[in-house]
Amino acid sequence: MATRLENTLYKIKNAGHKALNIYITAGAPDIETSKRAIIEAAKAGADIIEIGMPFSDPLADGVVIQASSVQALKNKMTMRGILNMIRDLRRVMDKPLICMGYVNNLMSFGYKFGIEYNGFERFVTEGKIAGMDGLIVPDVPHEESEQMRAVSKRKNVHLIEFITPLTTEERMKATCSEANGFVYCVSNTGVTGVKELNYEQIGEVISLARNYTKVPMMVGFGIGNPEAAVQAAKYSDGVIIGSAVVKRLMDGKFDEAMELIKSVRTALDDTYHK
């Protein structure tokens, strides 16, 4: 049976649209605001919500999301709190929810001294029950994720694969042949954050990757306005926006964050809708 994420992306592509994935850090600027932002982002046009799981050393993230993680941890947002948030969200929304976080938090989830078990499997199991559709774990390369992929497949939860402008064709073949849900196409070799980029390079990588998988390609990192989203979507099936939204939320500009999402949604639809 197709998953909620697969059904969503299929319907978007079949309708001639481009998918919009919005990243929001759970717990920042505070817990209630982040929950409200997820709900309102879906109403504003997000097809998928990527829920950031705060971590003390988010190595793939730039200064904006790093600061939001610090704030969320100060607000006592925990992995258990994220699962509780997902349960609450599922009462009012049905959009796909993808959790993005780092392996230390996942492997140690629910750890109790003297008891050995797979924290990742426990989180995936409880996450699926809560209503989580997938996971993004940027600090675990494909070559080291075999057990995680097996657990995720058993639980019918998507473990999202990555490609970058530096991914070799050999590695791309191995990564993409096992991809499911969507492939996260990193637009540049740096960390997250709004940048002016030329998306032709990742476009060439995406074109090559399509030889090895039929799952949708989503471009992330650096997209901060409608114009950049339109350029990135030229080569992909959709775009991922994080820092630009999180920055506005952290600055207390909730309405501006939602307006940004609406403007990107409109630009994508006006440009690419059949």
- Catalytic annotation on 251? no
> In whole angstroms, what is the distance from residue 203 CA to residue 205 CA?
5
Active-site residue, selected from the candidate residues 50, 126, 133, 237: 50
How many other C-beta atoms are found inside a 10 Å radius of the C-beta of residue 216?
22
Query: In this structure, which amino acid lies at residue 193?
Result: G
Give me the residue label for tokens 């879906």: 42
Q: Are 106 and 119 in contact (CB under 8 A)?
A: yes
What are the beta bridge partners of residue 260?
Answer: none
Q: Is the dihedral of CA 106, 112, 118, 123 positive or negative?
A: negative
133 is catalytic: no
Report d(CA 29, CA 23) in Å as an integer: 14
> Quick one: angle between helices 79-90 and 119-130, nearest 10?
20
Among all residues, which ones are annotated catalytic?
50, 61
